[in-house]
A and B are shown apart, each in its own frame.
Chain A
Amino acid sequence: MTQNLSYVRAAMIDQQDPPLTQKGAVRWVRENLLSGWLNILLTVLSIAAIWYVTSHLLHWFLNAVWNAGSLTECREVLSVLHQVGDNSGACWGVIRDRWTQLLFGSYPPAFYWRSILAMILLVVALMPVLFRDKVSGKLYYFSAFYPFLMPWLLWGGSFWVPLLAVAGFGVGYVALRLLTPVGGAVLGVVGAIVAALVWWIVAMTPINDALHRAVANMRIEGARDALIATQDGLAPRIAQIEADRDAVTAQVAVAVAAKNAIYAPLATEQFRRSVGPVLDEVAALFDGLGATSTQADLAAAYVGAHRLLLDFAPARAPEGMGPLLEQIKTTVRVRVTEDNLADAQEAVAEIGALVAQARGLTAANAMSDADLATGQAAFLGAMRELTALRETQTRIGAELFRMTEERRGATTLLRNIDQRAANIAAHPGLLAAAEEARAALPESVALLTSADDLPEGLAPADVAQLRDALRAEAALASNEGATFSIYYEVGRVGLQPVPSASFGGFQLSLIIGVAGIAMSLPLGILLALGRQSNLLIINKVSVGFIEIIRGVPLIVWLLTAQFLLNYFLPPGTEFDLVLRVIIMVTLFASAYIAEVVRGGLAALPRGQYEAADALGLDYWKSMQLIVLPQALKISIPGIVNTFIGLFKDTTLVLFIGLFDPLGLSNTIRATTEWNGIYWELFIFIGVLFFIFCFSMGRYSLFLERKLQRENR
């Protein structure tokens, strides 16, 4: 028996779309933005915040001027483009003009390739550390060599200098090999360290000098002719390029004049157009006044007029307009600031007459919209042309600068070579005189090496004798310096040296940051091991060092590098300021790295240490083979974060007179062209730092996640 049950469904209903509020964008908005009263409030607040920021900044960002050679020109372009209303805008012309300086400081443009190559090689050297599973392990050798390669690339000098530095490790290794069979592991290690230090501190300098001297002696005959040839070759080229420079300078002058000719009527028009409505507003303020107006109404009218007219400078006003406007401004100002309000009638009459007169002037000599548009286009074209010309000018200037520097180097060297024989002949006499004079000094001044800041109470005769001795020593020093500079210049086989003073901009920040972290790694690891050690003294020394360094701000350490480091070093040693900063930053960073590594060591399961002990490994073996590889791997994100912090902190070197990007921004503002520019430079610097630090931070985050995955 079959029954047809009508209430049983025969076919499934098709799946229906979810209601409108439960799908797509609407659902997303409901769930993510409007899910409760608190959420709604937050959404509204966020939108208000975004609106507030963009409404204030967007206009400024959109009105960007790229073609301008100075702040004044930027303002001209903006005022031409925006005849009425808000004509503020970003002047990125300064970045266009100075971006290489912000990146490289005053590093010679001819050697930018060295700096860029150093950066590329840095990335290559970091590959095995950062992407260990993707690249060959052989790269580790390159990574190990890189710390010696980078200074050479950046600072220049003979190619054997980095090799000599590396040779220190070779010497240490040889010592280890020779001493271990004789005196066991401990003696071997100590001997290796001592041998390497002796090599670096005692042996390396004379060897380096001897190499320079040997090469120089071989080359000196040819060098003189080559220098003369260089000089002769440079002279016509410099003359040519000077002619080019003068030609471009003339062209620029013509272009500026052309631009100014186009600008003048446009500026007047801009003034006319923008002042007209404002004058109407001012008139309206006073029109509303009457017999019934109170003092307060009157004051409000004056204040309103004052505010409206504040921004109008008479400089670009049409003829006859300037004095009139000035008169209105003065009248209003006097009334407002001196609380001397007239009565309503008088005020209306006073201001009304002036405004009407001014309005009459603005109505005359108007420019049609079509003319205005043509004028604007012509002006922008002129600016483009001018900017292009200026770029040529800069390029020629750079070339000229390079050539004159080259000629200067050649001239100096030639002079020194010519005086070489005389200098060498004079040397023994000077040496004897200097030593004699120093030895003969009375006790009260015997230790002094400077007559600049003498202690009180010295006998004048002693001071005179000291001055004589110093003079003799200086004569000796400059004699030796002249001879040595020949060896150094002629005997150099390698890259042209670049003095530290030329380093600046982001390059400097990167060098200090990278060198600081790279050199602090070994020290930091030792400190971390020391802090974990159960040898009391080692432990306390490590803890003390770490806490002292971390307890004092970096700026104090930098000031220490500037003021005090020379006090702590053996008398007579002087370091380059950049080198001093790098040393200080290295010490600073090592304390932080030590804490990061300590974290890594602590995170390692206890069993790893015990397993190493159970295998019978001694302390160094267990550290080297079992503990450190794992602990360092865990520490990499922390090390990257330390690097980011350090990199940001390199901006502090500004306070000791180095040209980091912020220091350069002050220098750029000190030129006539860019004096008064503010935000554009800061924004550019900030954005560059952000891009760099943010991507590093993302990388360290990625690494952390990867480590978490691997450890699961």
Chain B
Amino acid sequence: MKKSVLFGALTLAGLAAGAAQAATLDDVKARGSLNCGVTTGLVGFAAPDANGVWDGFDVGVCRAVAAAIFGDASAVNFVPTTGQTRFTALASGEIDMLARNTTWTFSRDTDLKFDFVGVNYYDGQGFIVPTALGVSSAKELDGATICIQTGTTTELNLADFFRANNISYVAVPIETNAEGQQQYLAGACDAYTTDASGLAATRATFENPGDHIILPEIVSKEPLGPLVRHGDNEWGDIVMWTLNALIAAEEYGVTSTNVNELAAGTDNPEINRLLGTEGELGAMIGLSNDWAKNAIAAVGNYGELFEKNIGENTPIGLARGLNAQWTNGGLLYSPPFR
């Protein structure tokens, strides 16, 4: 048993961070809220509003999991993590899950002892350049100066891409995205590179977005997904199937507005099992039977979540692209609920 020194109560046995190593669900239930690691702020994916209420695409995943467990999407403590602290926070049990645009890689999954439970956004690293530069492909950037956030996989991808194409570049390491935007706009670098979703968000804030183009090359695969500690498979299942429920809900046409209606029973057995009117799927993962219904009612299905936070009608304006359902030529493919 670990002891945690807190103000107010001085010590709180077990309750606090670091207690759980295995039975995460019991711990979350006892605590009454989910500790979810998010970024300290990334446009469209996670940011607190003026009241300190977090919102965004990654935040939606956290809220969906909380709704699945408690039936209450607000039962989440958002723990902001930096690129450096995110894995420590997860490994030490300070957070129960991490939904922080983290790329699923072999070494993170195995060597760092985490389990990625799925992909909530298929991203890739791209480049943005001013139209005035007259560049139409990243391969024409030989000798260019490129702004890049330090301490991320983007740095390694960039090196790989340029080495593979046998061209040179000058890297300008920057600390935050805001600094990167500012450096790029002032012309201190010819191109800015980060995840394509981030580039779209960045471009949307420019005074004249038309003067900048995002180059067609995507130099890396960046499947971003939520992850949990390795070893607690029951907990991993809950997060994984909550995400799958959101994806499946879109496929079957279940939305936050019609979910209550559909939960009364339909003639599609798949929907019935998903929403808990048939079978005992909830009990199998230690939750109530209407877990998926609660998650969908709270945050909407995957498509709704996407459209609300980063979709084409938001300032960020991302197209679905790879993140469309498999039926629409995308990569989203939820295993069946049976």
Contact = CB atoms under 8 A, between A and B. Distances in A.
> Do any CB atoms of chain A lie under 8 A from CB atoms of chain B in the complex?
yes
A670 B27 contact: no
Contact of B79 (A334, A480, A501): A501
B91 A452 contact: yes
A576 interface: yes
A265 to B, nearest CB: 20
B227 to A, nearest CB: 12
Nearest to B205: A676
A664 to B, nearest CB: 9
B218 interface: no
A337 B190 CA distance: 15
Interface in A169-186: none
A478 interface: yes
Contact of B15 (A152, A313, A485, A675): A485
Given A209-B11, A502-B52, 9 more contacts: A101-B52, A475-B22, A482-B30, A488-B12, A497-B7, A572-B1, A574-B2, A575-B5, A657-B85
9 contacts: A101-B50, A161-B8, A208-B11, A313-B207, A333-B132, A485-B15, A663-B40, A666-B178, A670-B40
A106 B75 contact: no
A409 B32 contact: yes
Interface string B1-38: 11111111111111111111111001101111100000
Contacts of B143: none
A694 interface: no
Interface residues of B, number: 82
B1 A477 contact: yes
B304 to A, nearest CB: 16
Give 8 closest A-B pairs by Cβ, nearest first: A412-B32, A670-B41, A157-B8, A481-B14, A676-B205, A106-B52, A155-B7, A471-B22
Contacts of B1: 473, 476-477, 480, 572
B7 A670 contact: no
Interface of A: 71-72, 75, 97-98, 100-101, 105-106, 109, 151-152, 154-158, 161, 204-205, 208-209, 212, 310-311, 313-315, 333-334, 337-338, 394, 397-398, 401, 404-405, 407-409, 411-413, 415-416, 449-454, 467, 470-471, 473-482, 484-485, 488, 497, 499-502, 562, 572-576, 579, 656-657, 659, 663, 665-672, 675-676, 678
B52 A75 contact: no
Given A161-B8, A415-B32, A579-B7, A671 B41 contact: yes
B113 interface: yes
The prevalent SS among residues of B at the interface is: loop
B176 interface: yes
Nearest to A676: B205
B5 A573 contact: yes
A208 B53 contact: no
B39 A75 contact: no
B231 interface: yes
Contacts of A575: 4-5
Contacts of B74: 401, 404-405, 408
B292 interface: no
Nearest to B18: A574
Given A467-B231, A478-B26, A450 B15 contact: no
B206 interface: yes
B30 A485 contact: yes
A574 B40 contact: no
Given A404-B74, A474-B21, A397 B49 contact: yes
Given A311-B208, A497-B9, A573-B3, A478 B72 contact: no
Contact of A670 (B43, B134, B314): B43
B152 interface: no
A416 B41 contact: no
A415 B210 CA distance: 55
Contacts of A106: 48, 52
Contact of B132 (A310, A338, A665): A310
A109 B53 CA distance: 12
B102 interface: no
A543 B42 CA distance: 46
Contacts of B134: 333-334, 337-338
Interface in B276-299: none
Contacts of B27: 474, 477-478, 481
Contacts of A665: 178
A577 to B, nearest CB: 9
A57 B18 CA distance: 51
Contact of A666 (B41, B52, B92, B201): B41
A649 B10 CA distance: 28
B33 A412 contact: yes
A670 B14 CA distance: 34
B178 A398 contact: no
Nearest to B66: A408
A523 B292 CA distance: 57
B43 A672 contact: yes
A204 B14 contact: no
B26 A574 contact: no
A502 to B, nearest CB: 8
Contacts of B314: 672
Given A474-B20, A666-B176, A572 B2 contact: yes
B33 A470 contact: no
Interface in B39-69: 39-44, 46-53
B136 to A, nearest CB: 12
B255 interface: no
